[in-house]
Structure 1
Amino acid sequence: MFMNSNFFEPGKSKPERTFIQTAVKQHTRFDGRKSTEFRDVQLNFGSDWGTVAVSMGDTKVLAQVSCDIGMPTSARPNEGTLFLNVDIKGVSFLDEVQTTHDQRSLTLNSLLERTFRSSRCLDLESLCIAVEQYVWCVRVDINVLNHDGNLYDASTIAAMTALMHFRRPEVSYIDGKLHTYSERERELMPLLFLHYPVSCTYCVYKSSNYPLVDPTLLEENAADSVIVLSFNSYQELCTLNAGGSAPTNVRTIMQCARGAAKRSKDLVQFIRKALELDEQRRQVPQQAVGLLDLLSNKAPRFSFKQLLAEDAMETDVVEQEINAEPMENTLEEATEAANKPAPQQTDTVKAVDDEEWLPQAEEQPMETEAAPTPGKSAKLKPNRNKGKAKGKKQQATPRKQAQSDSEEEVTQII
């Protein structure tokens, strides 16, 4: 039924490692993907709230959320609790080696704790019923059905989707009495979130400077270093985990961070779209989806690539409809502007011609100086001054109107 049902872990032997290292050096992957290409993510929702099956290629994970009323901790009496648990007993080759099993389970649990609890993505104060008395205790159980690499990303997507899909009953605490309402009395309430973290895993090799995203089990076991980045939908860094023997510089980490931030934003958008479609599907009465339907192809699936392709097509159609009218207006305005540039250009040319006549005004008094009358030189001197004053006035009026006005007033007073 599963791919890795044999009793050995692929990618651990030395020939396999050298073969994968040479393939990475030639920029080739066994499944035909590019170094920055992800596998398709598919979501299957069960009949119960908070039950989700996630598949990334041959990696399959089942997450289920449950809640119970309990006592708060003494350190935080007004907050609920969130508990995460990963069970990898379904993988056969990890059961044979106890050290590998314990190491993988501890690593997964610690990374999930850092991603969801340390980043405080869930509003734990909203889970408080009565301070220091009753709070909601939320538990997320993740079961690994098949492991073909990148188990951490699949677990975080499953946990995030299951928490967003979960609904809890409403509770009232009046006069020291706690009453839990059924689904028929009051509608179930979803959990409140502060942000939505999603992880992204990269593998770094000494033989290549380009890290591989979303590695398979062979690529993950043969990698020299593994970088795990968790970003939320606001593209804020939540967790960073890097370890291995390959040197990782700042440029490589920043390159991985840019891709992980974009990937997390797209995944959160995909999860929200899938939840909306599942809610519409639940309104139609139909047969309940069981565990066997989740593991098989009978249950309805929501594919990441298909939903994003549909959203891209819808946005393109909307943009074309929105931009249709402005394009017509711009064409009309362009035709009107094409008919009116001639008078505007002539006006600008006239303005330049008007400025060109200014030096000619200075030449006019020079002509009068060239042909003066012999007996009236004393009378012509004031005429020369008047001509110069007029020339100065004509030159000063377009530039400094205030000076010309002041000169005229002064001459009148004098």
Structure 2
Amino acid sequence: MFMNSNLFEPGKSKAEKTFIQQAVKQNNRFDGRRSTECRDVELTFGSDWGTVAVSLGETKVLAQVSCDIGVPTIARPNEGKLILNVNINGVAFLDEVQSTYDQRFLTLNSLLERTFRTSRCLDMESMCIASELHVWCVRVDINVLNHDGNLYDASTIATLAALMHYRRPDVKFADDELHIYTEKEREYQPLLFLHYPVSVTYCIYKTSSQPIVDPTLLEENAADSVIVLSFNSYQELCTLNAGGSAPTNVRTIMQCARSAAKRSKALVDFIRKALGLHEAQRSRGSQYVPGLLSLVSETAQKVSFHKLMKDELGQERYTMEASQMEVDEQPPKEVELVAEDVDKVEIPKQEKETPMDDSTWLPEESTEATIPTPKPVKNKRNRNKANKKQQNQPTKKPQNDSDSEEETKPVL
């Protein structure tokens, strides 16, 4: 029996694609959000170190971090290892056809590898125990529980939160012996980071010039192009992944980059605040800390992005992300003044601008005396004649300021 993979995944049929594209053309979305509005992110930390559950709307991801002592590579004997493993067996419609499963798995795994390993977010040298002998091998297992679009952002948030939440045991290497301390002997040590990357996904349609952030599964499958931008908390670009059939200009990509940089910084701040609340809850001891079963069954208490960030920093900082791209598209309004009102308008005094000193970073300008302008030569014969004339011409001797060489010679 022939099985078409497009029929099993939502948003692949022609009717669904036409419906989504017409809605985007009218600046409407299926769930009522604006084009620049994101879904709420909810974090839940487990009792084990490095266990985090992330909910991005109906998309749910569970990340677990573990470590072991291994042998370093020959090329980098002083650095540890970071291994990322993605499991999407929990998505039902992807199990129907193997081709769809492999495509999702390879795309998601390669994106996570570029975001965390290639960008070197972890300090790998701090994970070295003994050079060329023993290093820490950190492994992150990402399990997809439900897929309702934007699986890339949910996976990167879960991976970053799990790595920041994880604590590894302390070790001692002396006299060719390796001793691992327990949690009672010494406190577990957190992982050291160089930067904190988070990805933001946009969808672009041919029917509309406005990109859509945080797409659902219907919007993601009906999109003509998908852009994934990864920024860290310093608003530096880590990875850029773009593909599709819709033409994208520089202005659209720059608008997405500005909005994604602010979104990534806000998400990193949210993860830090959520970790602070979890550590305070864990230090009290009397509060209930959820286990793995409660994380999957959704009975644990969750930390919401909208509630936590609105209470402390206010709503204006995060609504700026939604209005940033809309302001760029609106042209400035022209104000017409009547002749009677011209005299009433006060013109502010303009301060004198000091010229910028560009002598240090601009090259020196060449003058006509130093570099002569060559005359245009029409063909090869004229070039040869011009070269012969230059060779036959006598070289001029340098003149002194006072007299010529003949006058300065002494007469006997």
TM bin (shorter chain): 0.7 to 0.9
Structure 2 residue 120 is matched with structure 1 residue 120: yes
Q: For residues 187-218 of structure 1, give each alpha carbon's deviation from its aligned partner in whole angstroms, at most 9, with x where no partner exists.
A: 00000000000000000000000000000000
Tell me how far apart the structure 1 counterparts of residues 270 and 301 of structure 2 sit (CA, whole Å).
15
Give how far 1:297 is off: 3.7
Contact 2:72–2:81 (8 Å) recurs in 1: yes
Tell me how far apart the structure 1 counterparts of residues 21 and 198 of structure 2 sit (CA, whole Å).
28
Aligned residue in 2 for 1:202: 202
Tell me how far apart the structure 2 counterparts of residues 60 and 130 of structure 1 sit (CA, whole Å).
39
Structure 2 residue 292 is matched with structure 1 residue 291: yes
Tell me how far apart the structure 1 counterparts of residues 289 and 90 of structure 2 sit (CA, whole Å).
25
Tell me how far apart the structure 2 counterparts of residues 152 and 66 of structure 1 sit (CA, whole Å).
21
Tell me how far apart the structure 2 counterparts of residues 313 and 219 of structure 1 sit (CA, whole Å).
30
Tell me how far apart the structure 2 counterparts of residues 277 and 308 of structure 1 sit (CA, whole Å).
13
| Equivalent runs, 1:334-345 vs 2, <5 Å | none
Aligned residue in 2 for 1:138: 138
Tell me how far apart the structure 2 counterparts of residues 287 and 275 of structure 1 sit (CA, whole Å).
16
Give how far 1:293 is off: 1.2
Tell me how far apart the structure 2 counterparts of residues 195 and 294 of structure 1 sit (CA, whole Å).
28
Tell me how far apart the structure 2 counterparts of residues 88 and 152 of structure 1 sit (CA, whole Å).
12
Aligned residue in 2 for 1:353: none
Give how far 1:314 is off: 11
The count of residues paired between Structure 1 and Structure 2 equals 310
Contact 2:49–2:165 (8 Å) recurs in 1: yes
Tell me how far apart the structure 2 counterparts of residues 284 and 170 of structure 1 sit (CA, whole Å).
24
| Equivalent runs, 1:39-58 vs 2, <5 Å | 39-58=39-58
Q: Secondary structure at the match of 1:52?
A: strand
Aligned residue in 2 for 1:169: 169
Q: Secondary structure at the match of 1:42?
A: strand
Q: For residues 157-215 of structure 1, give each alpha carbon's deviation from its aligned partner in whole angstroms, at most 9, with x where no partner exists.
A: 00000000000000000111100000000000000000000000000000000000000
Give how far 1:291 is off: 2.1
Q: For residues 71-107 of structure 1, give each alpha carbon's deviation from its aligned partner in whole angstroms, at most 9, with x where no partner exists.
A: 0000000000000011000001000010010000000
Q: Secondary structure at the match of 1:209?
A: strand
Which has the higher Rg, Structure 1 or Structure 2?
1
| Equivalent runs, 1:396-407 vs 2, <5 Å | none
In structure 2, do the counterparts of structure 1 residues 312 and 92 end up closer, same or farther at CA, with 3 Å as the change threshold?
same
In structure 2, do the counterparts of structure 1 residues 248 and 315 end up closer, same or farther at CA, with 3 Å as the change threshold?
closer
User: Which structure has greater helix proportion?
Assistant: 1
Aligned residue in 1 for 2:392: none
Contact 2:225–2:246 (8 Å) recurs in 1: yes
Tell me how far apart the structure 2 counterparts of residues 32 and 287 of structure 1 sit (CA, whole Å).
36
Mean CA deviation greater in 284-293 or 73-82 = 284-293
Q: For residues 330-373 of structure 1, give each alpha carbon's deviation from its aligned partner in whole angstroms, at most 9, with x where no partner exists.
A: xxxxxxxxxxxxxxxxxxxxxxxxxxxxxxxxxxxxxxxxxxxx
Tell me how far apart the structure 2 counterparts of residues 249 and 298 of structure 1 sit (CA, whole Å).
45
Tell me how far apart the structure 2 counterparts of residues 187 and 291 of structure 1 sit (CA, whole Å).
23
Aligned residue in 1 for 2:102: 102
Give how far 1:295 is off: 2.4
Aligned residue in 1 for 2:312: 311
Q: Secondary structure at the match of 2:129?
A: strand
Tell me how far apart the structure 1 counterparts of residues 35 and 316 of structure 2 sit (CA, whole Å).
28
Give how far 1:288 is off: 4.1
Tell me how far apart the structure 1 counterparts of residues 104 and 88 of structure 2 sit (CA, whole Å).
8
Q: Secondary structure at the match of 2:23?
A: helix
Structure 2 residue 21 is matched with structure 1 residue 21: yes
Aligned residue in 2 for 1:252: 252
Aligned residue in 2 for 1:356: none
In structure 2, do the counterparts of structure 1 residues 89 and 30 end up closer, same or farther at CA, with 3 Å as the change threshold?
same
Percent identity between matched residues is 74
Contact 2:48–2:291 (8 Å) recurs in 1: no
Aligned residue in 2 for 1:272: 272
Name stretches of at least 5 consecutive residues in structure 1 with no aligned partner.
Answer: 1-6, 317-414
Give how far 1:310 is off: 1.2
Aligned residue in 1 for 2:399: none
Aligned residue in 2 for 1:11: 11
In structure 2, do the counterparts of structure 1 residues 253 and 313 end up closer, same or farther at CA, with 3 Å as the change threshold?
closer
TM-score, normalised with respect to structure 1: 0.74
Tell me how far apart the structure 2 counterparts of residues 19 and 315 of structure 1 sit (CA, whole Å).
33
Write the letter of the residue equivalent to 1:295. V
Give how far 1:296 is off: 3.2
TM-score, normalised with respect to structure 2: 0.74
Aligned residue in 2 for 1:31: 31
